[in-house]
Structure 1
Amino acid sequence: MRPLLYLLLLLLPILGSAQDLPLVLTETEYLELVATHHPLAVRAALQRDRAAAVLRQARGGFDPKVYGDLDQKYFKGTKYYSHVEGGVKIPIWFGVELNAAYERNDGTFLNPEFRVPEDGLYAAGLTLSLGQGLFFDERRAELQRARIYQQATVAERQVLLNELLYEAGGAYWEWAGAQAAVSVYEEAVQLARVRYEAVVAGARLGDRPAIDTLEARIQVQSRQLSLESAQLELANTIARLNAFLWLDGVIPVELEAYTRPAPPETVVVALLPPGPVDFTNPELVRTQLKVDQLEVDQRLQRELLKPRLDVKYNALLSGGTDAPLEDYSSNNYKWGIKFSQPLLLRKERGKLQLTRIKLSETQLELSDKAALLRAKVAQAENEANVTVSQFALAGNNVTDYAQLLAGEQELFRSGESSLFLVNSREVKYIDARVKQIELLVKHRKARLARAYATGEMARALVPGAALPTD
């Protein structure tokens, strides 16, 4: 609820003087908005419902089944036969199917093997697979696949959001850098204009040569060009930033003109904490789950190499008895054995071989992805840590150039320096400030790259919570 209220506060027009007040949008708040309202994020959330449906479907393979059968024949007023049978079958985990049935048959020309007591015949027993299907079968494999898929939907959602948030985070820091650069150039234009007016006034009084007014005007125009280029870059970054802002994945929204990113002086630029990295990138998790699924397929294919040997046994009991357990006899039963086995097993062995090949390919893919992501983590850590010292050096440069500029301005006011030297010092000072902003953006994007490679970004916003079960 809080992100939605913040989104409405941030994006809807506000009347009165509030429009003149800058509203700061931090990186965390921005990414929360993206993770909550972007169409890809909304689509990723639907995977939970898909996983629940797949799991429910797989569990349906173990649902009890009730059946009934009625078969009768009449001809010229004669009841040739009537077969009535109904019952229930209950499959359980270990390759066993329990069953109970009631059968009642009669008729003038009834086949002798279908003759039962007048009140019908009850049967209760089981069917047991002693070969293929004893330890594993298609129903158990389907349920395991559904459980793996349930975990895969969490990983898939994290993969989608990891990529989305990485792109959105990069857009945020490009916007922050462009906004800070505009502020620098706005200040530079203002300083150039003030100096131009002072030089013009000095030239009128005869304290400055007239040529200085031309140089001062050229500096104003040059700074104005730089400002307009920075404003164009800012407009482009805002357009890219707005592409990630939606309301409930349906309505595109835009930032208000008075919204600002976090000021550069409030942004943390520090070394990454030492120690081992929690390296559970969702892309690796998803690939590992593919391996798990192929291992389930391989186990099933191995099971299909075994001969099919099903044993069926049912105890029989006459209907209409008042004490069924007392009338039970171990001599009343029916049983049977069913056996089948392909002679060459070419189909089964071919499927198993293909599954093993796919499993090997996926395991190699997993190893390759892990190596690439670890390299990306190392590269991002190197860049993030190096830019810390570079940012500090750039800050020192800004301070030193500011002192040089202040000294040169003082000499200029006393007539011991030229406008050219003042402008030169000022250009160096502006370049140093812009360079510091670029290093700040580079540092924050490196931290984003590290969070993307480790999967930390997606885990923070989409924890791998258990999905609903049926």
Structure 2
Amino acid sequence: MKSRSKITSLLALLFCTLFSAQDSLKISAKEFISIVKIYHPLAVKYQLQNKIAASEITRARGNFDPVLSGKLGEKNIDGVQYYRQKNLELGIPTWYGIDITGSYNYLEGEKLNNSDTKGGLYQFGVTVPLAKNLLYDKRRAMLEQSRYALKMTEAEQAVLTNDLLLEAENTYWEWVKNFELYQLQRRAVAINKNRLELTKKTYQFGERPAIDTVEAASQLQSFQLQERDAFLNFVKSTQELQLFLWKDNRELYDLTAMIYPSDSTGNSEAFSNFEMLVQNVEEQNLDQHFSLLYYFQKENILESERRLKWQSFLPKLDFTYNFFNKENYRADYLPLFDSNFQYGLKLEIPIFQREARANYEVARLKLAQNTLDTQIKRRELETKIQTYKNEILNYHTQIDIARENLTNYQRLLQAEETRYSNGESSLFLINSRENKMIDAQEKFILLNNKFLKSYNKLKWMRENFLYNNGNSK
């Protein structure tokens, strides 16, 4: 009971607001979309996702960052200094898998290994992969994949953002439709109230039978019921519209008064721009649609992974060379393998290569899956474009027919009212004509709404092309 009382009070408040402050706050479709685009949490979330993807590129570049390291240590037991060591090293990874190192090491002590060198020692070294990781390695793959992932994310977020704006705009026009239907029922109630009063007076003057007052009252009550239902639908759609209205502090906008549309379904720019929109979408290159660009970038990532997995078939053969020079000694760089050097050659060959074969097969199959997904998405986009285009053209034709039909019903009602005033008709026929006209008006509003929703679907699909030739209308 409390819940019902609360709802009744809310409806009463909104109903009173409608009559007292109808011009207090109005919003257009463009203003509404701008608010959603800037303040809606999902729109902000999609922008943040792009920033996350951009940060992943920076993370991947970190694999190529030079590393500076230092070490200081000493071992002393029973007054015997085993060793005292100072070490400073710089490692530089390069794009082609070659690692360059440079270091300075100072070592002294009484218990050193025979292979250790006392005093200060400078070292310059290089490690070169001769087979696996020479042409491609994990560091390069991660950086390339992160770049592709950014483009992939941008395409995905663009589609999601435009889907959000499409849903928001169609919610706006659904709200406008319910408002116009409510206004239509309000006018019908006002007209029938006047008709009932006039019928009562003519009955009192003996010009009309008493049954005409019953007929007029029944018609009025019917429209009053429809008016209440239309008002409830308008309130519900207002609440749905409110879900898209957010403040800059990410708080839901709490409406303190009713808001009203400043646009109407009959004066939208869509009616003058739909032919240009259809032509513009037909001229677009489907490969430039963000949904397909998403799969193209995914294919690049999977191809990078396949190339990386192919490296596992190659033997791991790494060559390392280090040049040494003692502190306070003149450096003698050439020949490289004469003195003051160290080199190593390391070879690893998996015997069965089961893991390599399995990983490569998985990468290849994922590429095949992505190709199928791309073909499905392409077909889906082609079908949607054709469907939306047919809907727009069909609804526009229906609107022209409905407009003529509505005009005819208005003429029939006017003619019936003239006949009634001349005593040649009945209130029953007038009500019948009026009901037909109201139905035609509702049909006209509903067709306009369907046309606008189909137009918006095609419009926001056009916004999903990377290079579209027009601006949003």
Moved more, 42-51 or 390-399: 42-51
In the TM superposition, residue 303 of structure 1 has moved relative to its aligned partner by 1.4
Matched with 1:191 is: 191
The 1:221–1:380 alpha-carbon spacing in structure 2 relative to 1, beyond 3 Å, is same
The 1:204–1:423 alpha-carbon spacing in structure 2 relative to 1, beyond 3 Å, is same
Matched with 1:405 is: 413
Contact 2:36–2:43 at 8 Å: present in 1 too? yes
- What is the total number of aligned residue pairs between the two structures? 440
The 1:450–1:149 alpha-carbon spacing in structure 2 relative to 1, beyond 3 Å, is same
In the TM superposition, residue 297 of structure 1 has moved relative to its aligned partner by 1.0
Q: Which amino acid aligns with 1:141?
A: A
Q: Which amino acid aligns with 1:124?
A: F
Contact 1:39–1:248 at 8 Å: present in 2 too? no
The 1:458–1:315 alpha-carbon spacing in structure 2 relative to 1, beyond 3 Å, is closer
1:129-148 → structure 2 map (5 Å cutoff): 129-148=129-148
How many angstroms apart in 2 are the aligned matches of 1:100 and 1:228? 84
Contact 2:159–2:464 at 8 Å: present in 1 too? no
How many angstroms apart in 2 are the aligned matches of 1:434 and 1:293? 53
Contact 1:72–1:83 at 8 Å: present in 2 too? yes
Contact 2:27–2:262 at 8 Å: present in 1 too? yes
Question: Residue by residue, what CA displacement relative to the aligned partner does 1:335-380 show, whole Å, maximum 9, x if unpaired?
Answer: 2211111111111111111121222112211211221122112111
Contact 1:451–1:457 at 8 Å: present in 2 too? no
The 1:458–1:202 alpha-carbon spacing in structure 2 relative to 1, beyond 3 Å, is farther
1:45-84 → structure 2 map (5 Å cutoff): 45-84=47-86
Matched with 1:12 is: none
Contact 2:91–2:102 at 8 Å: present in 1 too? yes
Question: Residue by residue, what CA displacement relative to the aligned partner does 1:250-278 show, whole Å, maximum 9, x if unpaired?
Answer: 31114531422412332232543224235
Matched with 1:13 is: none
Aligned pair 1:302/2:306, yes or no? no
* CA RMSD, Structure 1 to Structure 2 (Å): 2.5
How many angstroms apart in 2 are the aligned matches of 1:58 and 1:309? 25
Q: Which amino acid aligns with 1:76?
A: D
Matched with 2:110 is: 108
In the TM superposition, residue 53 of structure 1 has moved relative to its aligned partner by 2.5
How many angstroms apart in 2 are the aligned matches of 1:426 and 1:20? 27
Contact 1:128–1:312 at 8 Å: present in 2 too? yes
Contact 2:289–2:465 at 8 Å: present in 1 too? no
Question: Residue by residue, what CA displacement relative to the aligned partner does 1:100-132 show, whole Å, maximum 9, x if unpaired?
Answer: 11223333342232235x4x2212232111111
1:53-452 → structure 2 map (5 Å cutoff): 53-116=55-118, 118=119, 120-248=120-248, 250-255=250-255, 256-267=257-268, 268-270=270-272, 271-273=274-276, 274=279, 275-277=282-284, 279=286, 280-321=288-329, 327-330=332-335, 331-332=338-339, 333-452=341-460
How many angstroms apart in 2 are the aligned matches of 1:184 and 1:382? 29
Structure 2: where are the runs of 5+ without partners? 1-18
The 1:457–1:90 alpha-carbon spacing in structure 2 relative to 1, beyond 3 Å, is closer
Contact 1:161–1:458 at 8 Å: present in 2 too? no
In the TM superposition, residue 436 of structure 1 has moved relative to its aligned partner by 0.7
Contact 2:185–2:226 at 8 Å: present in 1 too? yes
In the TM superposition, residue 71 of structure 1 has moved relative to its aligned partner by 5.0
In the TM superposition, residue 447 of structure 1 has moved relative to its aligned partner by 1.5
In the TM superposition, residue 23 of structure 1 has moved relative to its aligned partner by 4.1
Matched with 1:467 is: none
How many angstroms apart in 1 are the aligned matches of 2:94 and 2:342? 21
The 1:254–1:233 alpha-carbon spacing in structure 2 relative to 1, beyond 3 Å, is same
Moved more, 441-450 or 244-253: 244-253
Percent sequence identity over matched residues? 32
Q: Which amino acid aligns with 1:265?
A: G
In the TM superposition, residue 77 of structure 1 has moved relative to its aligned partner by 2.7
Matched with 1:5 is: none
